[in-house]
Amino acid sequence: MDFERYYLDLFEMLNSCCKKIASGHYDRADAERLFELSKKGRYPSFLAELAESFGMMLVKVEAREFRLKKIIEDLEKSKAQLQKDHDGTNES
Per-residue pLDDT of the chain (92 residues; tens, 9 = 90+): 788 999 999 999 999 999 999 998 989 999 999 999 999 999 999 999 999 999 999 999 999 999 999 999 999 999 999 999 988 777 65
> What is the domain range of residue 58?
3-90
The total of structural domains in the chain comes to 1
CB atoms within 10 A of CB 23: 8
pLDDT for res 89: 78
Instruction: Tell me how far apart the alpha carbons of residues 38 and 12 are, in angstroms, rounded to a whole number.
Output: 14
pLDDT for res 92: 55
pLDDT for res 91: 65
